[in-house]
Structure 1
Amino acid sequence: MPRLLTAIRETPLLWLLVFVPIVLVVEVVRPEAHTLLFILSILAIVPLAAMLSLATESVAEKTGDAAGGLINATLGNLTELLIALTALAAGQYALVKASIAGAIVTNSLFMLGASFLLGGMRKHVQDFNRIGARLQASLLFIAVVALLVPSAVATADNAADPAALQQLSLMLALLLIVGYVLGLWFSLGTHKEAFASAGNGGSHGEPLPIRLALATLAVVTIFVALVSHVFVASVEVAGEAIGLSPAFVGFIVVSLVGGAAEFASAFSAARKDRLDLSVSIALGSSSQIALFVAPLLVLLSYIIGPAPMGLDFWPGAIVMMMIAAVSATLLTTGGRSTWFLGVLVLMVYAIFALTLYVLPPGP
């Protein structure tokens, strides 16, 4: 416990944990103050995500960068998953789909580009294992193709049977989950020797004891669930008051807030010349959301949602996800990065954000 308190005291971002009790109190005292609750919930989720990052880095410290990236991506996605589950139960399917598409694009472009930029500012050229990166990029591309099919059918054929589209979404969800499991078996089982780190490593810092890290994960996850409920309950009304469309809120705001834990881990690893870990977190998180989280939400919509949710997205989201998947494939070809490559990737993400802000999709 003293080590955890020391980490909080020495990390200014974690000082924002003071907003966790504040937002929970305001939610009880002034539940109608949606804009205030929206802002406070963001300020509370960010340090909670950073705490998740601190704990997951400690849990993953004894593994290689491939397995460590998987652990960071999986536990880092807890924030996004809890937000999506809360929105799913509330029937806000537009917000759920926007957050799915936004998380895929944000992780594969913003997180990866910022990692290249921050790492390149410390080192002239950085190397990473392109085999592992290409595997994650390939999985992401296949998943985006599966997401494109029902969306393309629904858009091109206005007479498409909604029941048939929902059945197709269910079958694709099961297929994607099987592909994700097989990908894990390949990278962590039958061919794990091909995914060794290509970087020089560096000082990883002193990790938390494993029991303390696991206890921190459990406690922080509970608070993330509570704050996520406040966030989802206020996001729609607050977004309208601020002038943000639901698509922009889900695609940009939710994905940036929900991915804060992964950002912290990926950026820290890049600055320590552990670019393999950064790439594994960024692309691993994107492929995990596309192959596992999105299909899981489709399955859970039959249980906790007011109606089944399909995998059909609006055309703009499909285009952005496809561009992100193709960009990830091209970026991982050489196995090397520089700071300017990161700038170029961030420019693509900025183009998407500006487009959604100025030209939001219709209802």
Structure 2
Amino acid sequence: MREKLFYYGLVTAVAASAITHYAGMSAVLQFCIAGVAIIFVAGFLGKATESVAHYAGERIGGFLNATFGNAAELIIAIVLIQKAVNGETHLFDMVKASITGSIIGNMLLVLGLSVLAGGLKFKSQHFNIKLAGHNASLMILAVIALFIPAVFAKGLTVEHTNTLSIIVSVILILSYLLWIFFSMVTHKEELKDHKETTEEVHSLAPWSLKRSMLFLFIATVLVGFVSEWLVGTIDQFSAKFGLSELFVGAFLIAIIGNAAEHSAAIMMAMKNKMGAAVEIAIGSSLQIALFVAPLLVIISFFMGETMNMVFTTYELVAIGVAVFIAKSISQDGSTNWFEGVLLLVVYVILGIAFYLV
């Protein structure tokens, strides 16, 4: 009965969001209804991901959730880039702010809520310590990759800055693909969290593998549509409530785009599957920094107006702080509820600072 009510809510919320969008109703109404719709779609995505994880294992399940969940951010960013290429160049700054927000949102908000929720149910939760070490190294690589273009851009022409951005983007994408090959193929067993028998895995799965993959695809498409409907309302919504572009990009868009990861990671943590929760939260941040952001630079190049990788000092400091605290907490391969509180405290402090800026 409860599950049926959820699906009724899902269909109703998505339909209402579509109606308000295509009927051209109030931007605030569109924004609120689309936000509710994304919460339902995120729950659906989380359930589908959990089902896939039963067959593929926690790591691959978490990776799939991070990848499918980031589709929302990617679609929102591409729409903003298209508008920027067509003359609204200030939107490039909002795209970079949304990238920053996605990185710190996953590392601090998503991971923080997951660790807190799991920690309130289990005294201590554990995940693969070797995976934690590799994640820490990749997080540092992400900071370096974003820091270097910002520093060297001061002594370069616009053309050379764009060239540097494109080259760094290609290198980062190659590095990320090599990481996927390393973690999923050559060192798969070494980085695995739990060893489960095939019978146990299949007996726990709520849906068949084919149905799980189908629902995962449908949920991703729905996230993409609702996210795109949301983009057109952001300018009017932020203007009405006096919100800055930096705050809107780094927190509002990021929180909306990360809705898919929120529910799935928390659900995994509350079932004592912290390995999957970490893969969703940290893995999603790494995917944004090492794959999505570079991909957006390359996409903008082919659209005719290159978006460089020069981030503001505020954004670099926020990412650096997030990486520092996330690395400190996750490097020992175990978590507790208080560490979740620490992550959330840092996120709130950054949120207040961005709002005031």
Q: Which residue of 1 aligns with 2:257?
A: 258
Checking the alignment, whether the CA contact within 8 Å between 1:199 and 1:274 is kept in structure 2 is no
Q: Which residue of 1 aligns with 2:182?
A: 186
Checking the alignment, whether the CA contact within 8 Å between 2:102 and 2:254 is kept in structure 1 is yes
What does 1:196-275 align with in structure 2 at a 5 Å threshold? 196-197=192-193, 206-275=205-274
Checking the alignment, whether the CA contact within 8 Å between 2:247 and 2:355 is kept in structure 1 is yes
**CA 1:172–1:107: 2 relative to 1, 3 Å:** same
Alignment counterpart, residue 166 of structure 1, candidates 162, 165, 180:
162
**2: CA distance between counterparts of 1:109 and 1:209?**
33
Checking the alignment, whether the CA contact within 8 Å between 1:86 and 1:228 is kept in structure 2 is no
Secondary structure at the counterpart of residue 62 of structure 1: helix
Checking the alignment, whether the CA contact within 8 Å between 1:53 and 1:76 is kept in structure 2 is no
What does 1:55-66 align with in structure 2 at a 5 Å threshold? 55-66=48-59
Output the amino acid matched with 1:213: S
Report whether the alignment pairs 1:81 with 2:74: yes
Report whether the alignment pairs 1:325 with 2:323: yes
Checking the alignment, whether the CA contact within 8 Å between 1:116 and 1:339 is kept in structure 2 is yes
Secondary structure at the counterpart of residue 190 of structure 2: helix
Checking the alignment, whether the CA contact within 8 Å between 1:266 and 1:279 is kept in structure 2 is yes
Alignment counterpart, residue 41 of structure 1, candidates 30, 34, 39:
34
Q: Where do 5+ consecutive residues of structure 2 fail to align?
A: 85-90
Residues 133-188 of structure 1: per-residue CA shift (max 9 Å, x gap): 2212211220221111112233xx2x631111110000000000111011111111
Secondary structure at the counterpart of residue 194 of structure 1: coil
**2: CA distance between counterparts of 1:292 and 1:96?**
15
Checking the alignment, whether the CA contact within 8 Å between 1:16 and 1:43 is kept in structure 2 is no
Q: Which residue of 2 aligns with 1:18?
A: 12
Output the amino acid matched with 2:55: K
Q: Which residue of 2 aligns with 1:314?
A: 312
Report whether the alignment pairs 1:53 with 2:51: no
Count of aligned pairs? 348
Q: Which residue of 2 aligns with 1:103?
A: 102
**CA 1:192–1:333: 2 relative to 1, 3 Å:** same
Output the amino acid matched with 2:22: V
Alignment counterpart, residue 4 of structure 2, candidates 1, 9, 15:
9
Secondary structure at the counterpart of residue 231 of structure 1: helix
**2: CA distance between counterparts of 1:256 and 1:209?**
31
Query: How far is the alpha carbon of 1:30 from its aligned partner?
Result: 2.5
Residues 301-350 of structure 1: per-residue CA shift (max 9 Å, x gap): 1234x511111111101111111112222112222211111111110011
Output the amino acid matched with 2:71: L
Percent identical residues: 35
**1: CA distance between counterparts of 2:158 and 2:298?**
17
**1: CA distance between counterparts of 2:217 and 2:286?**
25
Query: How far is the alpha carbon of 1:11 from its aligned partner?
Result: 4.0
Query: How far is the alpha carbon of 1:119 from its aligned partner?
Result: 1.0
Q: Where do 5+ consecutive residues of structure 1 fail to align?
A: 1-5
- Cα RMSD of the aligned pairs, angstroms, is 2.3
Q: Which residue of 2 aligns with 1:3?
A: none
Query: How far is the alpha carbon of 1:50 from its aligned partner?
Result: 2.1
Output the amino acid matched with 2:176: Y
